Structure 1
Amino acid sequence: MMSVPVATFLAGVGVGLTVAVPIGPMGVLCIQKTLAFGLLSGVATGMAAATVHVTYGILAGFGYSPTVTTHISAGASVLSLACAAIMFWFAVRTFRRKIVFGRADAGKPLCLLQSYRDALVCGFTNPFTIILFFAAFPALTSADQRLELPFLTFGIFAGAAGWFFILSAAVAVFRARLPEHRLMLANKAASCIFAVLGCLMIADALGLRRN
């Protein structure tokens, strides 16, 4: 019979994977950072995503899900516009930035810190990630006691971080097999995806995608 801490940890892994696996702004950002700067930058992006998920996990574990969801839903339009602005910022910056290919500064702390920062900003301003997280949390967990919260949050972190590490590693393998000019094209494509995501965020904020 599975012990309660193990079951709670696995439930946390399930929550982390449920929110992390769907490819959205954070997934695109992880792919772009790996294409542009290499594996470590993609992993740093994934660690930031896992940090965002753990933060929400702690809030949900202490019973703040209804309050947070209500506030997020009420301010979803504003957050969507803020996230759209960030997507356009990523799009312009990605389009103008050159690929770091075979250079030592790709793994420097400043580069990794910038990747981590960008992903934190993206994660904390995306209302759909927040709503998805709080929707998945009660459905996949049975942890009602705060004593189980450390196992739950560690599971969330492991699930999210594990997925983004796999994603970064896969993209890094792809990156190593492509010549530099094709990597540049892939980076430009990521820039276009950021712009499209920004447009979709604006459409959601204005209610254009609602039936």
Structure 2
Amino acid sequence: MDWLALIGGGLIIGIMVAAPIGPVNLICIRRTLAYGPLNGFLAGLGAALGDGVFAVIAGFGLTAAGGLITGMSFWLQLCSAILLIVYGVAIMRAIPRVIHNPDGTLVSAAGSNLYTAIGSTFALTITNPATMVGFAAFFAGMKEIVDYQVSLLYTFVLVMSVLLGSAAWWGIVTGVTSIFRKGIATHTLRVMNLGSGALILISGVVFAVYAIWQAVAG
């Protein structure tokens, strides 16, 4: 067993799952700019925890749970789409109010909630069964490294490495985004809310149409 290869593979998988630009990345960036790096990182961490649930299912071969999620894919996709639509509308309607330090750094913004930050992205991630399919494919490619039937310790290390990789990505996104917080104005946050909210809303509509189309075509 090459522990470095195992941990490195898990870190890469975690980053690959988290990195694609989508609604969660937009939410993380927006929350970092509006509420600060901690709020933005927790939003990313919520997605990482959701990824972790699917990683556990795929890594430990919990076929019953995996089959249940796959069988409910239409309803889960529909729930995810509805969450995106509701969240997008809420962001577009939000009226940000900011407070600045004398040096221009942003102190706070109305509406900041750490529980909402982590809970919203966790819910969006956990209702996306495609993530589990992706983890199953990634883990299948590492069969030569980890024997999922007998090497539970190795699988546990792999899953934890995936979580660390995903969390590292969100830390990078949060850190880079926070650089641009200094001197940000209420008008800028308002424009950002409208733009990111609209993109998230459109994503929800697209996901809903795709889920319905799959159900009808299938």
TM-score, normalising length from structure 1? 0.85
Q: Residues 36 and 187 of structure 1 are in contact (CA less than 8 Å); yes or no, is this contact kept in structure 2? A: no
Greater helix content: 1
Deviations 1:180-210 (A, max 9, x none): 31121012111101111111111111117x8
Among 128, 134, 137, which residue is 2:136 paired with? 134
1:38: Cα distance to partner? 1.6
Question: Which residue is equivalent to 1:89?
Answer: 86
Aligned ranges 1:8-87 → 2 under 5 Å: 8-64=6-62, 67-87=64-84
Question: Which residue is equivalent to 2:202?
Answer: 196
Q: In structure 2, do the counterparts of structure 1 residues 127 and 53 end up closer, same or farther at CA, with 3 Å as the change threshold?
A: same
Question: Which residue is equivalent to 1:152?
Answer: 158
Measured in 2, the distance between the counterparts of 1:34 and 1:81 equals 28
Q: Aligned to 2:96, what secondary structure does the other structure show? A: coil
- Identity of aligned pairs, percent? 26
Runs of 4+ with deviation above 6 angstroms: none
Question: Which residue is equivalent to 1:119?
Answer: 121
- Corresponding pairs, count: 207
Of 86-95 and 70-79, more deviation after overlay is shown by 70-79
Q: In structure 2, do the counterparts of structure 1 residues 180 and 105 end up closer, same or farther at CA, with 3 Å as the change threshold?
A: closer
Structure with larger Rg:
2
Measured in 2, the distance between the counterparts of 1:133 and 1:203 equals 24
Q: Residues 37 and 100 of structure 1 are in contact (CA less than 8 Å); yes or no, is this contact kept in structure 2? A: no
Question: Which residue is equivalent to 2:102?
Answer: none
Q: Aligned to 1:184, what secondary structure does the other structure show? A: helix
Counterpart check, 1:205 vs 2:211: yes
Which amino acid is the alignment partner of residue 82 of structure 1?
C
Give unpaired runs (5+ residues) of structure 1: none
Measured in 1, the distance between the counterparts of 2:187 and 2:159 equals 41
Counterpart check, 1:176 vs 2:159: no
Deviations 1:54-86 (A, max 9, x none): 22222222112x555544333222111111110
Measured in 2, the distance between the counterparts of 1:73 and 1:129 equals 11
Among 139, 142, 146, which residue is 1:143 paired with? 146
1:107: Cα distance to partner? 11
Measured in 1, the distance between the counterparts of 2:198 and 2:38 equals 23
Q: Aligned to 1:63, what secondary structure does the other structure show? A: coil
Give me the CA root mean square deviation: 2.7
Q: In structure 2, do the counterparts of structure 1 residues 74 and 175 end up closer, same or farther at CA, with 3 Å as the change threshold?
A: same
Which amino acid is the alignment partner of residue 119 of structure 2?
R
Question: Which residue is equivalent to 1:5?
Answer: 3
TM-score, normalising length from structure 2? 0.83
